[in-house]
Chain A
Amino acid sequence: SAVISQKPSRDICQRGTSLTIQCQVDSQVTMMFWYRQQPGQSLTLIATANQGSEATYESGFVIDKFPISRPNLTFSTLTVSNMSPEDSSIYLCSVEEAGVAKNIQYFGAGTRLSVL
């Protein structure tokens, strides 16, 4: 199984600022994802991070608010831009080994973000 390092593990930010979250995987993976869990809500997919091309965003999420980079097959970043208190959530990156063990996803430990 893939080992995923995500940082920072938590942060407290001021309204209007931006935070970049990093995700490092110990092996090359094709599929890499970013999720958000708002308080009391389900884990929700923000986007699929594509290596060498623009990320694929889910409905309700846009590139201007959540720019994503994927420079290679082991690393990705998610930026939460122009933050507001509604962005207070847990953000997780995950990877999927397609075709292996029925597409299990492996997750980082998450970034707990509080916006004041």
Chain B
Amino acid sequence: ILNVEQSPQSLHVQEGDSTNFTCSFPSSNFYALHWYRWETAKSPEALFVMTLNGDEKKKGRISATLNTKEGYSYLYIKGSQPEDSATYLCASRHSGGNTPLVFGKGTRLSVIA
């Protein structure tokens, strides 16, 4: 059974602070790593999909890196804003594109104005 771990479980930061979270996943048979942002009462929103070791993706103030050899990904938020408050989910896929995504429990971010 695949296990995806996210840390920290929750995080409170001041507006303007930069922050980062971690997603750990099994390195064997790795296929892809997904990051989602999930605001309360809304649909989870896809942020990034990464597949190659060393991949770096950026979307505005949010960026992510991928290390497939050691099995981790970092999500960075620069200059946090209250609208960044959400739960950030990572999910990994292994052994090919037709296998299910396995999600972590998420990191709940609260940005205090």
Residue of B nearest to A45 (CB): B100
List A contacts of B103 (CB < 8 A). 42-44
| Contact with A105, one of B34, B42, B102, B106 (Cβ below 8 angstroms) | B34
Of B32, B89, B97, B101, most buried by chain A (CB within 10 Å of CB) is B101
List B contacts of A58 (CB < 8 A). 100
Surface stretch bound by A, among B43-51, B62-70, B77-85? B43-51
User: What distance in Å separates the Cβ of B67 from its nearest Cβ neighbour in chain A?
Assistant: 18
Contact between chains at A103 and B46 (CB < 8 Å): no
Contact between chains at B41 and A103 (CB < 8 Å): no
Contact between chains at A110 and B43 (CB < 8 Å): yes
Contact between chains at B32 and A102 (CB < 8 Å): yes
Q: Is A98 an interface residue when CB atoms closer than 8 A count as contact?
A: yes
Q: Is A62 an interface residue when CB atoms closer than 8 A count as contact?
A: no
List B contacts of A1 (CB < 8 A). 46
Q: Which of B71-113 contact A (CB under 8 A)?
A: 89, 91, 93, 97-98, 100-106
User: What distance in Å separates the Cβ of A94 from its nearest Cβ neighbour in chain B?
Assistant: 8
Contact between chains at B46 and A106 (CB < 8 Å): yes
List B contacts of A41 (CB < 8 A). 105
Q: How far is B103's CA from A20's CA once the two chains are assembled, in angstroms?
A: 24
User: What distance in Å separates the Cβ of B48 from its nearest Cβ neighbour in chain A?
Assistant: 10
Given known pairs A108-B43, A109-B42, the reply for A45 and B49 (CB within 8 Å) is no
Q: Is A80 an interface residue when CB atoms closer than 8 A count as contact?
A: no
Once A and B bind, how many residue pairs between them come within 8 Å at the CB atom? 52
Q: Is B11 an interface residue when CB atoms closer than 8 A count as contact?
A: no
Q: How far is B34's CA from A68's CA once the two chains are assembled, in angstroms?
A: 26
Q: How far is B102's CA from A78's CA once the two chains are assembled, in angstroms?
A: 20
Q: Please, what's the 1-or-0 string for A26-59, where 1 marks a CB less than 8 Å from any CB in chain B?
A: 0000000100000011111100100000000010
Residue of A nearest to B9 (CB): A40
Contact between chains at A102 and B43 (CB < 8 Å): no
Can you report 14 A-B residue pairs in the complex whose CB atoms are below 8 A from each other? A1-B46, A33-B100, A42-B105, A44-B103, A98-B98, A101-B49, A102-B32, A102-B49, A105-B46, A106-B43, A107-B36, A107-B43, A108-B43, A109-B41
